[in-house]
Amino acid sequence: MTQLLEDCAKRLKLSQLRSHIAELTADQIQFLEQLFTREIEHREATKLNLLLKQAQLPQSGHEPFNWQHVQLAKTLSKEDLWDGQFISEKENLILYGGVGTGKTYLSRCIALNAITKFGHKVRFYTIAGLVNQLIDANQKGQLNKLMNQIDKLDLLILDELGYIPLGKEGAELLFQVISMCYEKRSVIITTNLQFGQWNHVFGNQILTEAVIDRLIHHSHLIIFTGESYRYRNSSIRK
């Protein structure tokens, strides 16, 4: 058995092939190598498409991310983001800055890289969207099902914290999600609020402190400065 055929057989879990290899001709071996290689490529493409579909990433452009107005924490480098190091370490990212400064776009870029290069399971939610799903699932007795889906992720992205208050039930359910993720998977939070203002979202000081405590224990802060990209390119300003 050639090394290529052996590697393909392992990946396709065809261990019984070893016992029949001596019966095959060189042409048959070459044919199997080509067949197995195409099958592996097909499976990988199918898996990638499924991961991308499950991630529910927002639609956006494909231009490279502009780091001009971004300040990384000293504990973090661009390479750490692209090679998925923070995901391997189950660390969190807090992306803080004004509206339209690129927080969501960077989180999407990180997610795409994590999926396409490393096969990580990722899910993108707006805070409001996730809270609505949590409340609906709780009312229908299906909360455990939704929690189990989140529990299987490598990276959870929670976008737009700070735009609307969550209400008591929503805040408590979101706290359950963040607690479940603590030290088990990475979370990316995008927000336009400083930590001292998060109480306006959760509506309870004790709950707010508990959320922040779990998020910042293993986290890196990324600060976005500058003006809104949409405003900068708006027809009104022009």
* pLDDT tens digits, 44-86: 999 999 999 999 999 877 788 899 999 999 889 999 999 999 9
In terms of domains, do 39 and 105 share one?
Answer: no
In terms of domains, do 160 and 42 share one?
Answer: no
Residue 232 binned pLDDT confidence (cut-offs 50, 70, 90)? low
The Cβ-side half-sphere exposure at 95, using a 13 Å CA radius, reads 23
In terms of domains, do 222 and 141 share one?
Answer: yes
In terms of domains, do 33 and 144 share one?
Answer: no
Q: What average pLDDT is seen over the chain?
A: 91
Give pLDDT, residue 63.
83
Distance CA 209, CA 205 (A): 6
Residue 234 binned pLDDT confidence (cut-offs 50, 70, 90)? low
In terms of domains, do 110 and 11 share one?
Answer: no
Q: Is 54 exposed, middle or buried (CB count within 10 Å of its CB: 0-12, 13-18, 19+)?
A: middle
Q: How far is CA 178 from CA 22, 165, 182, 183, 236, in A?
A: 55, 17, 6, 10, 40
In terms of domains, do 86 and 115 share one?
Answer: yes
In terms of domains, do 162 and 74 share one?
Answer: yes
* Domain annotation covers residue 155: yes
User: Would you call 96 helix, strand, or coil by DSSP?
Assistant: strand
Domain harbouring 180, CATH code: 3.40.50.300
In terms of domains, do 99 and 164 share one?
Answer: yes
Mean pLDDT of the 128-152 span: 98
* pLDDT tens digits, 21-36: 667 788 888 888 899 8
In terms of domains, do 90 and 169 share one?
Answer: yes
Q: What are phi and psi of 120, to 5 degrees?
A: -70, 150
Number of domains in the chain: 2
In terms of domains, do 35 and 144 share one?
Answer: no
**What residue numbers bound the domain in which 114 lies?**
70-232
Name the residue with higher pLDDT: 193 or 232. 193
Residue type, 32: L
Two tokens at 129? 């969207």
